[in-house]
Amino acid sequence: MPSTTDPQARETVTIHDQTLERGPGGELHQTAGADTPALTTSHGMPVADDQSSLKIGPRGPTLLEDVHLRDKIFHFDHERIPERVVHARGMGAHGFFEAYESLADITMADPFQEAGRRTEAFVRFSTVAGNKGSSDLARDVRGFAVKLYTRAGNWDLIGNNIPVFFIQDAIKFPDLIHAAKQEPDRGFPQAQTAHDNFWDFISLTPESLHMIMWIMSDRAIPRSFRFMEGFGVHTFRLVNADGKSTFVKFHWKPKLGMQSVVWNEALKISGADPDFHRRDLWDAIQSGDFPEWELGMQLFDESFAEAFDFDVLDATKIIPEEVVPVRRVGRLVLDRVVDNFFAETEQVAFCTQNIVPGIDFTNDPLLQGRNFSYLDTQLKRLGSPNFTEIPVNRPRCPMHNFQQDGHMRMAVNKGRANYQPNSWGEGPRETPKAGFSSLPVAETEPTRLRIRPESFADHYSQARQFFISQTPEEQIHMASALTFELSKVERADIRVRMVAHLLNVHEDLAERVAKGLGLKSIPDPAPAAKPTRMDLQASPALSIILNGPGSFKGRKLGVLLADGADAALFNALTRAAGAEGAMVEVVAPEIGGATLDDGTLVPAKQKTDGGPSVLYDAVAVLVGADMVKSLARDPSVLDFIGDAFAHRKFLAYAPAADGLLAAAGVDKAKRDDGIVALSAAADADDFIATCRKLRFWPREQSIKPV
């Protein structure tokens, strides 16, 4: 051992492939070399030793004089910033938007001026209620916030994966979020709405009933961000160079189609991989399988707005796609992960008020309130009005104004004039023609009032329309979701109040939930603000199952592999999945892998107790006959198979695994058409083709909803 009083005394040690230096206390040092830069303090001073603090003697007190220690701990102490008050948990990525056609006749907005024009983009997906460290698979709305760095400034389209909202007026937002988040006295439950406060508020806020249908549907448990739609929610305006305005509702349509998980799966994914959605987006982009969405627009004019059954300023209503078709005008591609999560995903600041010439707001009272909230919240979160200078927020087009100073100012303004008009011939000037000017809109009712319009009063017609637009399986999921959530509500009167509202939506749904809750009698329907509910036609566009992928592309096959597995079957499966554009992940009893019957060692991505079948869209079980007995004693293997069956997944198995399936409860009598025996390598293609359907839904009828 080197001397204990000479800090420079070190000996060289090699640990496998790493050569380091060991100091007197056994601590390991890495010294800068030709390829690695010198470690410095934040002020740039090179650091000689980053392993020990400055002391009086080897065992003496630490000195305040240690500037490196103080610099390091000072910075660490201030690493956290306030998390977003909502949408705290999220995942961002870079990409671009590309226009399919010129929309210059409809809007001056820069991204739409010519076919093929590309605009740089940053997107952040999120959950709403949970804190930053909560699970991705919470039953919740997903945020879908898009920043387009246009040549005329940043345009932020901050939407959700659901086209309506809980409330009609921004003044109710703090109440909604207080009620949804953890209860204030106890600090739980986290990232879920299954508690008294949320349902108390909802049962006293009938305008939320349409949104409730959406969040109690499979939309609230998406398979991944890549498989969900996005919506701008509000009615916006597009304005062309002649000042003509057209109303628009924005949609994002996933190229891969829509897909969700089932609730029991969501619960288990939350335990197995709370970062499931983050990881999915990261892995897809890193592997070159870039997620894509098409931007859709529903365009309509004043006369349509006048004639439509609902108020287009009411964010609790949709315009069905069957009524105003969605015109697909371009595509959004995410092709680059962030370099640094904090610098980009955490510091990105979306603001609804960031629009560009060619786009304008409407009087939607929810949107008007948002236009204050987003700017205000960024100041709190990022600490300075100069948050616009953070690289992820900085416009890519030239930016000049006379704003100055403030915390963390980065720009070094030059010149004497910091105001205008000025006589110095310095600084930026107005651009009356190309610049943004609000559309002159004549207000029809100039009386100042604090009031909710009567045209917002129908709370149930579209809620019913959503319910009847779902397939029977999806309707079962909705009834189960409502039953689950309300079963967590302690106060019986809140449960009854909710059933009273559901009666106004759809009797069948209300009865299923009442039965699920064990209600002894059906209550009277809640008194409706607008007593006559319209029996609107079903809108097939609202169902996920009816708009599924039609391909196994972008999805994942989990192969449970053990020693002695049939190499020909394994190779055929991986080839067929690859040809379809799907991923294959091997799960084996040991992470080192499994040896096939031809002697090939296949490394595993997951060990069986770390890779449950909930992480996969479909599964295959390929094991050698000799392994069946020991695997049948492993609960994680039995769960892998049993859960795949319960979650209505397609499951393929090699004949040798027959007994293992039976041990997991999937005996011969239960093997429906979704359970495929791979008797020859040629069956692999058929199996992958079968997986194009989302799940084997007929199983829904034979086993209890999950």
Q: Does 293 bind ligand HDD (CB under 6 A)?
A: no
Could you tell me which of 470, 461, 457, 456 has the C-alpha nearest to residue 216?
Answer: 470
- Annotated active-site residue 197? The verdict is no
- Which one among 159, 554, 612, 674 touches ligand HDD, defined by CB under 6 A? 159
* Distance from C-alpha of 523 to C-alpha of 503, rounded to nearest angstrom: 9
- Which one among 370, 501, 533, 648 touches ligand HDD, defined by CB under 6 A? 370
- Phi first, then psi: what are they for 525, rounded to 5°? -60, 150
Least distance to ligand HDD from the beta carbon of 129, Å? 12
What single string gives the DSSP state of each residue in 2-13?
--SS-TT--EEE
Q: Does 154 bind ligand HDD (CB under 6 A)?
A: no
* 252 close to 231: Cβ distance less than 8 angstroms: yes
CB-based closest residue to ligand HDD: 143
Q: Does 87 bind ligand HDD (CB under 6 A)?
A: yes
482-512 core/surface letters (b: 16 or more CB in 10 A; e: else):
bbbbbeebeeeebbbbbbbbbbbbbeebbbb
Least distance to ligand HDD from the beta carbon of 349, Å? 6
- Which one among 228, 319, 359, 366 touches ligand HDD, defined by CB under 6 A? 366
Least distance to ligand HDD from the beta carbon of 362, Å? 12
Q: Does 170 bind ligand HDD (CB under 6 A)?
A: yes
Tokens 């948050």 belong to which residue?
A: 387
**Count of beta carbons in the 10 Å neighbourhood of residue 571:** 16
Q: Does 168 bind ligand HDD (CB under 6 A)?
A: no
Least distance to ligand HDD from the beta carbon of 44, Å? 33
Determine the interface stretch with ligand HDD among 270-278, 289-297, 371-379, 541-549 (rule: CB under 6 A).
Answer: 371-379
Least distance to ligand HDD from the beta carbon of 345, Å? 8
**Catalytic residue among 154, 160, 161, 197, which?**
160
Q: Does 233 bind ligand HDD (CB under 6 A)?
A: yes
* 260 close to 219: Cβ distance less than 8 angstroms: yes
The residues in 413-472 that bind ligand HDD, with binding defined as CB under 6 A, are: none
Tokens 């008007």 belong to which residue?
A: 368
Least distance to ligand HDD from the beta carbon of 160, Å? 4
Q: Does 586 bind ligand HDD (CB under 6 A)?
A: no
Q: Which is nearer to ligand HDD, 10 or 210 (CB)?
A: 210
* 295 close to 329: Cβ distance less than 8 angstroms: yes
Q: Does 539 bind ligand HDD (CB under 6 A)?
A: no
* Distance from C-alpha of 558 to C-alpha of 586, rounded to nearest angstrom: 6
The residues in 461-500 that bind ligand HDD, with binding defined as CB under 6 A, are: none
* Distance from C-alpha of 500 to C-alpha of 495, rounded to nearest angstrom: 9
Q: Does 365 bind ligand HDD (CB under 6 A)?
A: no
Checking 402-409 for CB contacts under 8 A at 24+ apart, the result is: 402/427, 402/428, 407/383, 408/383, 408/384, 409/384
Q: Which is nearer to ligand HDD, 168 or 483 (CB)?
A: 168
Q: Which is nearer to ligand HDD, 197 or 354 (CB)?
A: 354
**Residues facing 98 on adjacent strands:** 118, 331
Q: Which two tokens stand for residue 145?
A: 């916030």
Least distance to ligand HDD from the beta carbon of 250, Å? 11
- Annotated active-site residue 131? The verdict is no
CA distances in angstroms from 120 to 27, 99, 114, 336, 691, listed in the order given? 47, 12, 15, 11, 35
**Catalytic residue among 16, 68, 75, 87, which?**
87
Q: Which residues are catalytic?
A: 87, 160
Binding site for ligand HDD (CB under 6 A): 84-87, 90, 124, 126, 143, 145, 158-160, 165, 170, 173, 233, 315, 348, 350, 366, 369-370, 373-374, 377
